[in-house]
Amino acid sequence: MNASDIQRGIRHLQKTDPIMRDVIRRTGPFTLNLRHDRFHALVQSIVSQQISGKAALSIWKKLRTIADPLTAERVRTLSLAELRAAGLSQQKVHYIIDLSTHVSEGRLKLSRLGRLSDDAVIEALVEIRGIGVWTAQMFLIFSLGRLDVFPHADLGVRTAIQKLYDLEELPDRETSHRIAQPWRPYASIATWYCWRSLDPPPGS
């Protein structure tokens, strides 16, 4: 996802979808920041599941202190109690240990994921306990910078589509994909703008 790709994507969205063109005009530049440490990105996605952003940030900071440096090998030296001390649930502790085991034993080669297709990346990641399709899609967007990922099940995306396209209810999979079809092959950029469309106006 480089600057020229992004500019081509924005021009494509502006040309093919008048509603997205208006969202881009109101939101401004595309400013997604990639997470370059892939292990950190996956651990953080597990930490953040089903809790508030504030709670997730607090746990993440504690975990970074307890496991310093935060690597797969370091995590495997920690006890369940030490990981729980960061505020993680027992279930999430087991998820993070499973991820760390896959990485440290070479069953999940994070450095090679960038060479795989989107579908192959998802297939590799969902083998890890606690990582489903949505988390894998977030990894594709925020860590690998893939341009054409559309997380149709994401509540924020569905809510944005409902509001932007004046739907009576949250769109189902078929409706979401139909609306997103003009975004291809830059669905990741459109997805980011969907999320930003839900941000409160500046100064509110």
**199 pLDDT band (50/70/90 cuts)?**
confident
pLDDT at 202 over 70: no
**Res 48: pLDDT:** 87
Per-residue pLDDT, averaged over 56-82, amounts to 94
Evaluate if residue 204 carries a pLDDT over 80. no
List Cβ neighbours of 39 (8 Å cut-off, separation of 6 or more): 70, 71, 72, 99, 103, 110
**Structural domains for the chain:** 3-33+149-197 (1.10.1670.40), 38-142 (1.10.340.30)
Residue 1: both structure tokens together = 């996802």
What is the mean pLDDT of the segment spanning 34-54? 89
Q: What are phi and psi of 150, to 5 degrees?
A: -125, 100
Residues listed for the chain: 204
**Could you tell me if 62 and 86 are in contact, meaning their C-beta atoms sit under 8 angstroms apart?**
yes
pLDDT in tens, 125-168: 999 998 999 989 999 999 999 999 999 988 889 999 999 999 99
Confidence category of residue 203, pLDDT binned at 50, 70, 90: low
Reported pTM = 0.87
pLDDT tier at 195 (50, 70, 90 boundaries)?
very high
Of all residues in the chain, what percent carry a pLDDT higher than 90?
A: 83
Task: Give the integer Cα–Cα distance in Å for 68 and 74.
Answer: 7
39 and 103 in contact (C-beta within 8 Å)? yes
Q: What is the pLDDT of residue 200?
A: 78
